[in-house]
Amino acid sequence: MKTKKNLIFYVVLLLVFTTIGIISSNINFNDYHRKISSWLSVPNKSFIESNDIKIIKIKFNKEDNQHFKRLFKDYIPELDPSKENANSKFLSYYSENNNWKKNTLTINSDSFDVKIKSHGRTPFEHKFGKYFSLSIKFKSKPFPFFSKRVNFVIYNRIQLSSEILKLLSSKFNLYSPKFELVSASVGKSGDYYYFIEERINEDFFIARNLPMVIFNDNIDGSLIYNGNIKTTELSKRLIKELKDRDDLSFELKFQIKNDYLNFNESILKKNMNSLKQFFDMDYMSRLNAFRTVYGSDGHGFASTNIEMAYDTVSRLFYPINHRDMISTTLINCKYPYEFMDSKREKIPFWILLDSDSVFREKTSQQVKIFLSNNNKNSVKKELDSIHEFYKSAYNYEFSYINNVFDGKSIIENIECLEKIYN
């Protein structure tokens, strides 16, 4: 009864503050809404204990508090990605001052020397009220999580999407990073949930026993041809990155340089026969079937987001699923190959692959295999299980999901595809 009264009180409080926020022209409503919502997002202690969730603490000294407060002083949390230009003042200061800070991180009762900074070069929606995402570097082994450096992403940025992405990726046997839910207190922010995100780096491939490398440190985007940057310029950037790779032999660097150039040239010249030589077509057809069922809008494959691994033995390229795969409802599941990238950036290699009838047929076969092993009811049951798990994570159920991806689009896509293929 007490919990019910508390909930009613907080809901009324939320409505009052929301109304004030709408009336006042001097208040940024998005920011105001996030602050109020963040106050009500209280982790459930019994959930943490029963699921053995790690408890993390990072304390800030006075200088750290001032640093992070100033870092986000001009941040405007826009819901529409097209309005990110409103943050030009914030990004100007942020890019120059987001530096690594020494600190101590405590996991349960174990302490680790770390360096921390805000996560993301342009951290869109990586701040929720007083909580914000971090990048963390551990000083020495053994590392408590996946690697020396991990992403420490606020719950509100990911919510259920990591679990749903993991579920769908596993059904198509695709590579994707792992996430671990933790409870953390950062500075004066109080307890909140974060996801420890596995970075797609050398340790990612070692953990999976894959002879792969990846080049994704370039601030201007990936080294895969995207229709805007010349292939010669991409080669120059690759050579610059290869100079810093002491773990690669001269011969392997030469091979990588040539394969990247020829791969990009095949996309530029729209040479499907050449492109096929650089892809594991079985993997790519499974990935394309995933795109179809998931309703990928292309964002995760955009030049600034794509994670393209290169297998040094087979000399093939493998796109890897990750957090920025955005799901939407299929516009036309009878012919789904055009809609994927229409809302964002055009992806040249997908356009070329999707134009090939043989590849489309391989994709259709993979979709049929998926539908033979899954249906909308079985997948909905799995999604419901994810929802139920996270519903119990908070004292107030509405905090577990906040107007973001809930998996409904996937069920709608499966329902549509079942009519076509069954």
Instruction: Say if 407 falls within a structural domain.
Output: no
Mean pLDDT score, 114-129: 87
Say if CB 421 and CB 367 are below 8 A apart: yes
∠ at Cα 406 (176, 183), nearest 5°? Answer: 70
Instruction: Say if 53 falls within a structural domain.
Output: yes
Instruction: Please report which confidence band the pLDDT of residue 25 belongs to, taking 50, 70 and 90 as the band edges.
Output: very low
pLDDT score of 28 more than 70? no
Given this model, what pLDDT does residue 207 score? 94
Say if CB 178 and CB 235 are below 8 A apart: no
Instruction: Say if 236 falls within a structural domain.
Output: yes
pLDDT tens per residue, range 401-414 = 876 788 999 999 99
Name the region of 187 (left: φ>0; alpha: ψ -120 to 50; beta: rest).
left
CA distance 382 to 380: 5
- For β-strands 131-132 and 127-128, DSSP reports them as antiparallel
Indicate whether 231 and 124 sit together in one domain. no
Indicate whether 368 and 241 sit together in one domain. yes
**Which of 65-79, 104-118, 274-288 shows the lowest mean pLDDT across its residues?**
65-79
CA separation (Å) from 303 to 111, 219, 300, 307, 348? 38, 11, 9, 9, 10
Instruction: Say if 413 falls within a structural domain.
Output: no
Residue with tokens 């500075």: 187
Concatenating the DSSP letter of every residue in 336-389 gives TTTTTTTTS---HHHHHHHT-HHHHHHHHHHHHHHHHH--HHHHHHHHHHHHHH
Instruction: Say if 404 falls within a structural domain.
Output: no
Instruction: Please report which confidence band the pLDDT of residue 170 belongs to, taking 50, 70 and 90 as the band edges.
Output: very high
Single out the residue of 115, 113, 118 nearest to residue 67, CA to CA.
Answer: 118
Concatenating the DSSP letter of every residue in 38-84 gives HHH--B-HHHHHHTT--EEEE---HHHHHHHHHHTTT----SSGGGG
Mean pLDDT score, 351-373: 94
Indicate whether 73 and 182 sit together in one domain. yes
Instruction: Say if 386 falls within a structural domain.
Output: no
Indicate whether 245 and 354 sit together in one domain. yes
Indicate whether 142 and 90 sit together in one domain. yes
Domain that holds residue 19: 2-40
Indicate whether 166 and 271 sit together in one domain. no
Indicate whether 78 and 220 sit together in one domain. no
Boundary (domain end) residue, out of 141, 166, 199:
199
Instruction: Say if 411 falls within a structural domain.
Output: no
Residue 213, helix vs strand vs coil? strand
pLDDT tens per residue, range 199-234 = 999 999 999 999 999 987 555 568 999 888 899 999
Percent of the chain residues past pLDDT 90, beyond the cut: 62
pLDDT score of 183 more than 50? yes
Mean predicted lDDT score pLDDT of the chain: 86
Indicate whether 100 and 79 sit together in one domain. yes
Through-space distance between the first and last CA atoms of the chain, rounded to whole angstroms: 50
Structural domain tally of the chain?
Answer: 3
pLDDT score of 339 more than 90? no
Q: Which range has highest mean pLDDT (85-94, 166-175, 207-216, 243-252)?
A: 166-175
**Which of 5-14, 50-59, 208-217 shows the lowest mean pLDDT across its residues?**
5-14
Given this model, what pLDDT does residue 22 score? 43
Single out the residue of 351, 348, 344 nearest to residue 327, CA to CA.
Answer: 344
Residue with tokens 């539908």: 371
Instruction: Say if 395 falls within a structural domain.
Output: no
Structure token pair of residue 377: 């009811």
Mean pLDDT score, 184-209: 93
- For β-strands 317-319 and 131-132, DSSP reports them as unpaired
pTM above 0.75, yes or no: yes
pLDDT score of 344 more than 60? no
Phi, psi of 68 (to 5 degrees): -70, -30
CA distance 218 to 242: 12
Mean pLDDT score, 30-43: 75
Evaluate the omega torsion of the peptide bond into residue 77 and state whether it is cis, within 30 degrees of 0: no
Given this model, what pLDDT does residue 227 score? 86
Residue 297, helix vs strand vs coil? coil
Say if CB 421 and CB 368 are below 8 A apart: yes
Indicate whether 139 and 233 sit together in one domain. no
CA distance 365 to 421: 10
Single out the residue of 197, 233, 203 nearest to residue 218, CA to CA.
Answer: 233
Indicate whether 223 and 327 sit together in one domain. yes
pLDDT score of 177 more than 80? yes
pLDDT score of 8 more than 70? no
Indicate whether 140 and 15 sit together in one domain. no
Residue with tokens 């009264």: 5
Indicate whether 327 and 188 sit together in one domain. no
Structure token pair of residue 374: 């899954």
Residue 396 DSSP class: S
Mean pLDDT score, 367-388: 96
Residue with tokens 């660097």: 253
